């Protein structure tokens, strides 16, 4: 969105507290500032992008971050189910690059593929998006309309059901 200095608290607030780090209850008030967001089109995928590329599994990896039960019920053909928690250790911190590469290799995701992440509405898949960026994937985008848009489209779009790949 155009912000430059952005970080993630690895493990979140719960781990911060569990590690005995300092916390305060007083609200922090920052001086007012103007921020104008900008959207980089290459970081978002549209329904048209997904329709044009989902079947090209040699070049693209569509990553479905929805819960496994929903993925098993129906998903975009060829989509690979990787949950938010698959990138994390038990304490909520990010797994090492080696562990993530190992997990991706078992799912057929290689660094040469263009990755499109999605979930229900673009929230859960955001973590996958940032993990792929962290791993150095050159082309990663988030299908913000996600499953909600795919399933609601009036054009008949293909859907895999059951245990099909």
Evaluate if residue 57 carries a pLDDT over 50: yes
Position with higher pLDDT, 160 vs 151:
151
Contact indicator for 133, 141 with CB cutoff of 8 Å: no
pLDDT (average), residues 107-120: 94
At residue 93's C-alpha, the angle toward residues 87 and 94, to 5°, is 35
Tell which residue, 128, 144, 149, has the closest CA to residue 1: 144
Position with higher pLDDT, 152 vs 89:
89
Tell which residue, 147, 96, 97, 95, has the closest CA to residue 117: 147
pLDDT value of position 157? 67
The architecture of the domain spanning 41-161 is 3-Layer(aba) Sandwich (3.40)
Evaluate if residue 133 carries a pLDDT over 70: yes
Evaluate if residue 103 carries a pLDDT over 50: yes
Structural domain spans, the chain: 41-161
pLDDT (average), residues 42-60: 91
pLDDT (average), residues 141-147: 89
Say what the pTM is.
Answer: 0.81
Report how far residue 55's alpha carbon sits from residue 58's, in angstroms, rounded to the nearest whole number.
Answer: 9
Lowest mean per-residue pLDDT among 15-19, 38-42, 58-62, 150-154? 38-42
Tell which residue, 40, 97, 86, 92, has the closest CA to residue 63: 86
């Amino acid at each position: 969105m155009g912000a430059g200095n952005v970080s993630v608290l690895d493990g979140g607030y719960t781990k911060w507290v569990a590690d005995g780090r300092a916390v305060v209850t007083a609200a922090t008030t920052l001086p007012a500032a103007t921020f104008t967001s900008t959207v980089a089109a290459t970081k978002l995928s549209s329904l048209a992008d997904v329709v044009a590329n989902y079947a090209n599994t040699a070049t693209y990896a569509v990553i479905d971050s929805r819960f496994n039960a929903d993925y098993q019920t129906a998903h975009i053909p060829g989509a690979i189910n990787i949950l938010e928690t698959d990138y994390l250790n038990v304490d909520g911190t990010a797994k090492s690059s080696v562990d993530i590469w190992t997990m991706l290799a078992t799912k057929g995701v290689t660094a040469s593929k263009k990755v499109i992440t999605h979930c229900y509405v673009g929230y859960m898949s955001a973590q996958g998006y940032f993990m792929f960026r962290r791993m150095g994937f050159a082309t990663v985008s988030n299908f913000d309309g996600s499953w909600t848009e795919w399933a609601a489209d009036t054009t008949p779009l293909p859907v895999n059901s059951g245990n099909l790949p």
